Structure 1
Amino acid sequence: MLSKLNLGQKFTLMLLGVFMVGILMGGIALSRLLNYTAQAELTSKALMLMETMNAVRQYTVDEVTPEISERSEVQFLPETVPSYSAHTVFKVLQSSPDYQDFSYREAVLNPTNPKDKADQLEASLVSKFKEADSPEEFHDFRNSPGGKLYYIARPIQIKQEACLSCHSTPERAPKSMVDLYGRQNGFGWKLNDIIGTQIISVPAQTVFTKARKSLLITLGVFTGVFAIAILLVNYWLKRYVVRPLNRMAATAEAVSTGDTKAEFTKWSDDEVGKLTDSFNRMRLSLQMAMQRLERNRNRRPGGSQSG
């Protein structure tokens, strides 16, 4: 099958084979790299959001709570709770297209509000954060009722005494808060305890879609460049190899039928040019041999030439 193809077709098939193997191996490696890059980009955004939420929490503790602490004794005000402030600001950020896919949650082992209760995965993260050699954050994929999520988690640690005014004992907590949530939940916290985890999540499909788009664009560019390369190689091959060889084949055919004056035209000084020189020397040698044979034949008795 291959023996019936011309040089251009053989080179094209060879390049296509190399391209298919290269695109397969490169596509797998590139897909993994782009997935990692997409995760890293989303992680960077999530961590920036988390730092923003921590700044809002700190502002609430330092600036808001002291200003309205007297009012909160009479009536519980959610604005004094750092978690409430963080979630409120995050809802504002979600109105931006850049952050509309993100979600924010503060999961606590023993929360005041039952809706903040940590689930099984979140509780396991809190346990990991409590370990001595635990990293400062975790990021991974998790399953949820709405689909697979990519999450970044950091610990929530009690670092300020002001937080204990509401969560150490029911007696120290604002009466209005105890009346609203009861005396059973959200108490017993201690300074430097890790009581929960901050989690920012984004649908896993967002990660994969972003990586897939980058992969398709990159593979499209590679395919376009390779197609141009094949066209250029075929053009170069046809002009500088195939055409000279075809001319030499036609000249060799003429010489083989007795036209010893037919000359092999030299177009370049490369290997094809050297082959042309060799054919011309062979033609001259053949021409000289034919002339000698003709002279010897004419010198024999009975030849056309007289002595």
Structure 2
Amino acid sequence: MSISRKVLLFFSIIYLILCMTIIFIVRQYMYNEVLENTSKKAQILIERTVAVHEYVAKELRPAVNEKLSELDVDKDYFDPRWMSAGYISRNINKYYSNRDTGYIDYSYKMFSINARAAESEADPYEREIIAEFKANPSESVKEEVREIEGEKFFVVYKKNVNFTEGCMKCHTEPEKAPAGLIDFYGDKNGFHREVGDISAILSIRIPISSHIQATNMVSMKLSGILLLLFLVSLIVQFVFMRKSVIKPIKELSILMKEITADNQRIGESVKIYKGKELGMLSDSFNHMSLSLKEMTTDLQVKVDERTLELSKLNAKLEQRVKNETESRVEAERKLVYQKRFADIGQVFQSVSHQWRQPINTLGIIFYDLQKTFDDGEIDKKYISEYVENCNTLTEHMNITINDFMSYFNNKAEMKEFNPLEYILSVVRLMKSNLISNNINLKMIYIDDEKPYEYELDNLLGGVELKNAVLCGFEGRFKQIIMNLLQNSVYALDKQAEENSEAKKEMKIILSKEEDSYLVTLSDTGGGVPDTIIDRIFEPYFTTKAKDEGTGIGLNMVKNIVEDSFNGDIKVYNQDLGACFVIKLPMANKECC
């Protein structure tokens, strides 16, 4: 909704409220004036009637009675025309109300219960009025607006004088009353009164329906005049608002939009409109436009300078990131080579240790063969026996060197292989470390819930391996087993340094689980602290001394398991040490 409509709507609501308030106040005021004027007129009439009653009671009746006594008139004589105050006041008001004076229209009634005159008998509503006056002796006047037969009247009730001792002659018992009174009114009504009783209630009833209608008519005329003035003022206000306020604001708004929409026009000025407020608005916009122009120019210079600085800084950061990345890659490559050379050293040390015994045995055989030849005791059977022993020793050495060459074969060829065979190959390479550290290793293969156990001596002496097939890179599988076995040997050695009686046991379990093999490697090396167990697969994280570990071994294991075998590896602590569980998928038709 536009501002002009909001303003018009606001003032329309305010004006309507004011008009309704004025009309209501005027109407209520005129209504109250009608009641007040009518009340004054009624009071005059009723007070005049009371004056008549007082005159009859105090002046006329005593004078008449005195004159009758002087004339020796019969005591039973009674003439209401000068002896009854009620009769006199009733007829005076009748004559007065019948006069066409144009001043006031009213009706008079003096009523009571068991009234002497039938026309003065109180109806049910008037009986309630009498009861109210009796209940409230201090009240003498009551005013009200009463609707009778569809017409509204303003009614004033005035309590008449109470019965006195002088009234009792005509109002106690019929026998005491003058015979003329009995002949005129009868002996039924108006008797059995007591001193102090209310003689009657005087009432003046003035119709006010016509006055109220006149008041409503004046209110309607006033409403029409105010409504007409409202429409005229609304039209004038609308025209004035559109010409003097809305139109200039729209023009100013359009110019502002055009200038602010085009950066090239920032700094332009608009014309100064007439009127204090519009002039201030247009002047403020011109000032703002010039300020924005200056700020924009200054900001553009700063943006260009900052952009140049950021470009230079970005180029430096890119070069630094590139250098850091190359350095990190080189460092990781060196660490991998360092780890691999360390593995070569350990494996070569194990191989040399395993070759030392066969070489010594061959030396003894050659020495014995030379001695036997010198003694002339060589025969075919002797030669065959020594040849067989030499072949056994060289076969053992050939197996060892094949294991060594297979472990460091870098040709990444994916194929099916028996994991038991390659676990055995790594164990043979680790033989010297295991034996020299007095570590007891056991391997268990569970096929269809039937376990096959292999002790270290059996593995080294040659066993029949059960059929198990994995698909992947056999050299990387050996790296997994070698790293985990080396970590276990390290943990067992460290624990033995602290507790010489600690058990030094390792266990490798190969089992099936649906379409996967589980390789479980556990030891009794004390386990991994709970505070760091979630971080041991992170790169460069190690608990070893700087000269003992690089922190990439377990990270390499995790990467090989997940990337090369699409498997999963987890670690947890058990009673005496750590347990690594590797889940590898079985070979399928799409493997090779």
TM-score (norm 2): 0.41
- The Cα of 1:157 is off from its aligned counterpart by 3.0
CA distance in 1, matches of 2:172, 2:240: 82
CA distance in 2, matches of 1:215, 1:200: 28
- Equivalent of 2:91 in 88, 107, 113: 88
1:49 matched to 2:53? The reply is no
Q: Give matches, 1:101-250, under 5 Å.
A: 102-132=106-136, 135-142=139-146, 144-145=148-149, 147-158=151-162, 161-203=165-207, 205-206=209-210, 208-220=212-224, 222-223=226-227, 226-227=230-231, 229-231=233-235, 233-234=237-238, 236-249=240-253
CA distance in 2, matches of 1:27, 1:66: 57
CA distance in 2, matches of 1:261, 1:199: 88
CA distance in 2, matches of 1:185, 1:119: 15
Match of 1:298 in 2: none
1:99 matched to 2:95? The reply is no
- The Cα of 1:108 is off from its aligned counterpart by 1.4
User: 1:61–1:162: 8 Å Cα contact kept in structure 2?
Assistant: no
- What secondary structure does 2:206 align onto? strand
| Higher mean C-alpha displacement, 19-28 vs 274-283 | 19-28
Match of 2:529 in 1: none
User: 1:244–1:267: 8 Å Cα contact kept in structure 2?
Assistant: no
User: 2:23–2:222: 8 Å Cα contact kept in structure 1?
Assistant: no
Change (3 A) 1:92 1:29: same
Q: Could you say what the CA RMSD is over the residues aligned between the two structures, in angstroms?
A: 4.0
- What secondary structure does 1:111 align onto? coil
CA distance in 1, matches of 2:292, 2:135: 92
Match of 2:520 in 1: none
- Equivalent of 2:34 in 20, 34, 38: 38
- The Cα of 1:33 is off from its aligned counterpart by 6.1
Change (3 A) 1:235 1:160: farther
- Superposed CA offset, 1:177-201 (max 9, x none): 2211112222233332113311222
CA distance in 2, matches of 1:183, 1:133: 30
- The Cα of 1:115 is off from its aligned counterpart by 1.7
Change (3 A) 1:269 1:151: same
Amino acid at match of 1:269: K
| Higher mean C-alpha displacement, 54-63 vs 71-80 | 71-80
| Higher mean C-alpha displacement, 283-292 vs 80-89 | 283-292
CA distance in 2, matches of 1:92, 1:242: 73
CA distance in 2, matches of 1:46, 1:217: 29
Q: Identical aligned pairs, as a percentage?
A: 20
User: 1:251–1:262: 8 Å Cα contact kept in structure 2?
Assistant: no
Amino acid at match of 2:274: W
- What secondary structure does 2:199 align onto? strand
Change (3 A) 1:179 1:149: same
User: 1:160–1:191: 8 Å Cα contact kept in structure 2?
Assistant: yes
How many residues get paired?
286
Match of 1:297 in 2: none
User: 1:167–1:189: 8 Å Cα contact kept in structure 2?
Assistant: yes
- The Cα of 1:73 is off from its aligned counterpart by 6.2
Amino acid at match of 1:264: K
CA distance in 1, matches of 2:82, 2:239: 74
1:274 matched to 2:280? The reply is yes
Match of 2:7 in 1: 11
TM-score (norm 1): 0.72
- What secondary structure does 1:109 align onto? coil
Larger radius of gyration: 2
> Which structure's relative contact order is higher, taking Cα pairs within 8 Å and 6+ residues apart?
1
- The Cα of 1:275 is off from its aligned counterpart by 0.6
Instruction: Note the residue ranges of structure 2 that are not aligned, 5 or more in a row.
Output: 299-592
- Equivalent of 2:57 in 54, 61, 64: 61
- Superposed CA offset, 1:45-85 (max 9, x none): 22222112111222233333344443896452424322233
| Higher mean C-alpha displacement, 114-123 vs 6-15 | 6-15
CA distance in 2, matches of 1:236, 1:51: 62
User: 2:56–2:83: 8 Å Cα contact kept in structure 1?
Assistant: yes
- Superposed CA offset, 1:102-125 (max 9, x none): 211111112221121111111121
| Higher mean C-alpha displacement, 147-156 vs 277-286 | 277-286
- The Cα of 1:248 is off from its aligned counterpart by 2.8
- What secondary structure does 1:195 align onto? coil
- The Cα of 1:289 is off from its aligned counterpart by 9.6
- Superposed CA offset, 1:222-257 (max 9, x none): 445544653554455345422432453565588689
- What secondary structure does 1:265 align onto? coil
CA distance in 2, matches of 1:269, 1:21: 31
User: 1:139–1:151: 8 Å Cα contact kept in structure 2?
Assistant: yes
Amino acid at match of 1:97: G
- The Cα of 1:29 is off from its aligned counterpart by 7.0
User: 1:110–1:195: 8 Å Cα contact kept in structure 2?
Assistant: no
| Higher mean C-alpha displacement, 178-187 vs 167-176 | 167-176
CA distance in 2, matches of 1:228, 1:81: 67
